[in-house]
Chains A and B, each alone.
Chain A
Amino acid sequence: MKKTFVLLTAAVLTLSLFTACSSPSPAPANSTPPAPNNNPTSAPASETPVDPGPAFDTSRVIGVHTREDGSGTRDAFVSITGVGDDMYGEAVVLGSTNEILSQVGASEYAVGYISVGSLNDTVKALSIDGVTPSNATVKDGSYAIQRPFLVCVTDEKQADPLVEDFILFMLSDQGQAQLGSSWTMIDDGAPEYTAAGLTGALRIGGSTSVEPLMQRMREAYLALNDGVTIDISSTGSGDGINGATSGEYDIGMSSRELREAELETLTPISIALDGVAVIVNTANPLSNLSIEQVKEIFTGEITRWSGVN
């Protein structure tokens, strides 16, 4: 009687101890990007009874993943695909590009959408109506799901010579060269920029999607203008727009179009184009969807993979 009690309590205890101790340990193992193999279910394989075989079961439910309400990526995605306000109610909502990447990378039957600039080997980007998402197809407009990266300024700030000079730089040949292979130029033949030798400080803030590009632009600009300091904070499109309106930032960054009320005080300027890629797990044999099918998946009209195969 006594022993059974002690043993039982001890067993429960060891169990809880195990859960406690194992929590930090998977972190380092998973923080490195998993190698692109056929079965990227990154959890310890022995724990999951998922069949490791190559067969992709098309009768399984589509694991729809979306971004949160108000995100620039979501805004662009739902308005272009025609999903509009009818996003599938069962779609998992995640708060960042990285969360979408890791969930779609880890779950065989998942689908999601992210910025083309953030694509990597852990997921597979689908062609839309036969067009592969890439810089070239975004630029010539044949890849339909795309959006501009915006900076926005008030009229008052736009008159500031330093702000004006930096905007000139972003749209110049040297500025557009910073887009590299991750983002797409708006058009070729941007004018040459010559440093005006200005001094001062700029505060820039906003969209987390635009921020990596802005960091590169900053480096290149500072190399030409050593009397200037530029401070960049990455806090989301909404905050960038608010900050630009209130004067907290000289320049706000946004990855969504401005709303009507916001256009009254701010002028948007596109500095690049970015495609939104529909991504699936690498184990998924699918390679193409029509934009109509994308809409049907994200509104919940098609719920199983057999519906698109």
Chain B
Amino acid sequence: MQKERVMRAAFFMAALASVVSVALICVFLLYQGLPTLFEIGPLQFLLGRKWQPAALYSEPSFGILPMILGSIYVTGGAIALGVPIGLWTAVFMARMCPKALYRVLKPAVNLMAGVPSVIYGFFGMMFLVPMIFGFLGERFDMVSGSTMLTASVLLGVMILPTVISIAETNLRAVPPELYEGAVALGASHERAVFKVVLPAARSGVMAAIVLGVGRAIGETMAVRMVAGNQTALRMPYEFLKGVRTMTTNIVMEMNYVEYGSLHEGALIATGVVLFVFILLINLLFSTLNKGREKA
């Protein structure tokens, strides 16, 4: 009896650890970030177009709109490139793949998920950046191959394993009766897969996309190495120019920041904004999950 109680407490503590750490991060971010946010002015901070935190000769300015947009663009690009490839791969793996090929494919996808992001970044820096500069640099008067497009392509590859494995699991979870029914009614294999099975797994596929978004928006190291990191405000059509995301903004300037300065606070406040984005994405994910349980 005694033992049981001790173990129960131990398990409870273990369960508590993750909740406590999330709560601590929340408290830290808000405690450190919110005062700065209000000191700068929330509107000026969120909608300011100029980021010049360590200005030596003029008033520093702290506007993170370029970074918020940067995160959105790069994530959007990654989704546009990664999701179609990922979904087709998932459909292929779940419904069309010969067994022998599957035995190679599945470990390959898993391996992809295990490659550290700095390796992706290195690959991007040494291969994608020169390649894109070589193909397009002269024609479009580019400053460098480190662009929004480069970051999107790299992130598109990086979200593949997330999208593929979640979408595949959900496609496999579709009851076989649906597929069989469709085939029995005269649909071909492909028609049944794309018109019946895929729509039936819709909420799972959405979940895969949302998790892909979460992975893309939070990625730091790889993006920092290929995105150019300019703080200029970009429009979506300027995808051949460099861009800075919220994550890279924090990691690039944290090392050199002056202790207790407004600059440091502004970087933490950037973290708050990023955290809110991630919360929204998770909320979306759990809403979608709920929808799936009902269905």
Contact = CB atoms under 8 A, between A and B. Distances in A.
Interface of A: 1-2, 5-6, 9-10, 12-13, 15-17, 19-24, 26-27, 30, 41-44, 47-50, 57, 60-65, 68-72, 75, 78-79, 84-85, 89-95, 99, 102-103, 106-107, 109-110, 208, 235-239, 241-242, 245-246, 256, 259, 261-262
B143 A64 contact: yes
B11 interface: no
Given A16-B85, A70-B53, A89-B232, 12 more contacts: A20-B160, A27-B126, A42-B130, A60-B137, A60-B138, A62-B143, A90-B242, A94-B229, A103-B129, A237-B255, A241-B259, A259-B258
Nearest to B89: A13
Interface residues on B, range: 35 or more
19 contacts: A5-B96, A9-B96, A12-B88, A12-B89, A13-B92, A26-B127, A41-B130, A41-B134, A44-B127, A68-B256, A84-B56, A84-B57, A89-B232, A90-B230, A94-B229, A103-B125, A235-B255, A237-B256, A245-B259
Given A48-B131, A236-B255, A5 B190 contact: yes
Contacts of B189: 2
Given A13-B105, A245-B259, A61 B142 contact: yes
A235 B157 CA distance: 31
Given A6-B96, A85-B55, A63 B144 contact: yes
A89 B230 contact: yes
B119 interface: yes
Given A9-B91, A41-B130, A241-B258, A90 B112 contact: no
Nearest to A27: B122
B105 A26 contact: no
A62 B137 CA distance: 11
Contacts of A48: 130-131, 134-135
Contacts of A94: 229
Interface in B218-270: 224-225, 228-232, 241-242, 244, 251-259, 263
A239 B138 CA distance: 41
Nearest to B122: A27
Given A43-B134, A48-B134, A20 B253 contact: no
A16 B89 contact: yes
B73 interface: no
Contact of A110 (B86, B138, B144): B144
B143 A238 contact: no
A95 B255 CA distance: 10
A145 to B, nearest CB: 15
B126 A43 contact: yes
Interface in B200-226: 224-225
Contacts of A64: 143
Interface string B44-72: 00000000111111100000000000000
Contact of B257 (A1, A43, A78, A238): A238
Nearest to A73: B256
B184 to A, nearest CB: 17
Contacts of B251: 95
Q: Which of A1, A72, A78, A92 is packed against the most chain B CB atoms within 10 Å?
A: A92
A185 to B, nearest CB: 26
A70 B259 contact: no
A284 to B, nearest CB: 15
Nearest to B232: A89
Interface in B251-295: 251-259, 263
A24 B53 contact: no
A42 B258 CA distance: 37
B145 interface: yes
Name the 3 nearest CB pairs between A and B, nearest first: A236-B255, A48-B134, A70-B256
B111 interface: yes
Nearest to A245: B259
A21 B157 CA distance: 11
Contacts of B21: none
